[in-house]
């Protein structure tokens, strides 16, 4: 991932996730203060959905009034904003104030206001490669099976109140269901799995290491095939994932590829 030449950015548009909790907004407020002290002219807009993130980012491109668009939220906020910047010259900045901050972990961004302000104004921009899942762009990962069941049962209102603890009940419900049978095709070769993640990123769910060899700059994908024989086996895989020891598990396979189909 070769960095593009760094230049001073003094006119940021910050698109803020309206659902972010009060404690997370403190970091945003601190970053805005640091940017003001550095002489930046800042515009902050609030978005209530991924679609609104994309729309505000596109409007920034058309207006020509900003030299960086900053997503202040979690990975969903970042994805929506990035979609609005596709094929534009404006760089995307990040203020990690979401429940999950996989991209921040991926680029090693610390939650310190002065560090973030420096990075937004003078840090190098880097080109990354994304993918399409059912026609929708993604930049970190896409999944089918277990984590799809977790997300389907996640209560956003509870998530806003308690953060990552909101995943506890959805995870337990997903662990209690019958394991699905998935047919996965990677570059024309068929495979079987119970759960699949197609990854561009090393991290998962924040700081957990999922795929150590993955890189945002890679043109292809790492497909992780989970093949537990039982629900207890799935629970063991989750424990290995949380410990960063997924590689080496006998019932988990890592494959490189460019085109992946899941049915």
- How far is it, in rounded angstroms, from Cα 141 to Cα 135? 14
Place of tokens 């991932």: 1
* Chain segment 82-124, per-residue pLDDT in tens: 999 998 999 999 999 987 789 998 888 988 999 999 999 999 8
* Chain segment 191-202, per-residue pLDDT in tens: 999 999 999 999
In terms of DSSP bridges, do strands 43-47 and 12-17 run parallel, antiparallel, or are they unpaired? parallel
User: Up-side HSE of residue 232: CA atoms within 13 Å toward CB?
Assistant: 0
Provide mean pLDDT across the span 185-208. 92
203 pLDDT above the threshold of 70: yes
Architecture of domain 12-127: 3-Layer(aba) Sandwich (3.40)
Reported as a pLDDT band with limits 50, 70 and 90, residue 228 is very high
pLDDT, the chain, mean:
88
132-262 has which CATH code?
2.60.200.40
Q: Which range is least confidently modeled, 85-94, 136-145, 150-159?
A: 150-159
Q: Where in the chain is the domain with CATH 3.40.50.10330?
A: 12-127
Contact yes or no for 103/140 (Cβ under 8 A): yes
Q: Where in the chain is the domain with CATH 2.60.200.40?
A: 132-262
Contact yes or no for 159/99 (Cβ under 8 A): yes
């Amino acid at each position: 991932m070769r960095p593009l030449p760094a230049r001073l950015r003094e006119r940021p548009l910050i698109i803020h996730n309206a659902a972010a909790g009060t404690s997370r907004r403190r970091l945003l407020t601190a970053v805005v203060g640091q940017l003001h002290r550095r002489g930046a002219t800042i515009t902050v807009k609030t978005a209530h959905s991924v679609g609104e993130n994309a729309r505000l980012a596109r409007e920034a491109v058309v207006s020509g009034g900003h030299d960086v668009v900053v997503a202040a939220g979690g990975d969903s906020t970042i994805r929506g904003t990035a979609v609005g910047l596709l094929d534009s010259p404006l760089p995307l900045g990040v203020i990690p104030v979401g429940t999950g901050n996989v991209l921040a972990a991926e680029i090693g961004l610390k939650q310190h206001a002065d560090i973030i302000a420096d990075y937004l104004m003078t840090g190098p921009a880097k080109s990354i490669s994304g993918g399409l899942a059912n026609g929708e762009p993604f930049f970190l990962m896409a999944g089918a099976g277990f984590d799809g069941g977790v997300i389907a049962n996640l209560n956003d209102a509870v998530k806003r109140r308690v953060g990552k603890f909101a995943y506890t009940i959805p995870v337990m419900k997903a662990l209690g269901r019958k394991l699905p049978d998935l047919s996965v095709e990677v570059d024309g070769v068929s495979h079987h799995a119970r759960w699949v993640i197609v990854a561009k990123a090393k991290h998962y769910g924040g700081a957990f290491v999922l795929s150590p060899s993955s890189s945002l700059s890679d043109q292809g994908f790492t497909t992780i095939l989970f093949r537990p024989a039982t629900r207890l086996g799935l629970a063991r895989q989750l424990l290995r994932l949380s410990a960063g020891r997924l590689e080496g598990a006998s019932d988990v396979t890592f494959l490189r590829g460019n085109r992946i189909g899941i049915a």
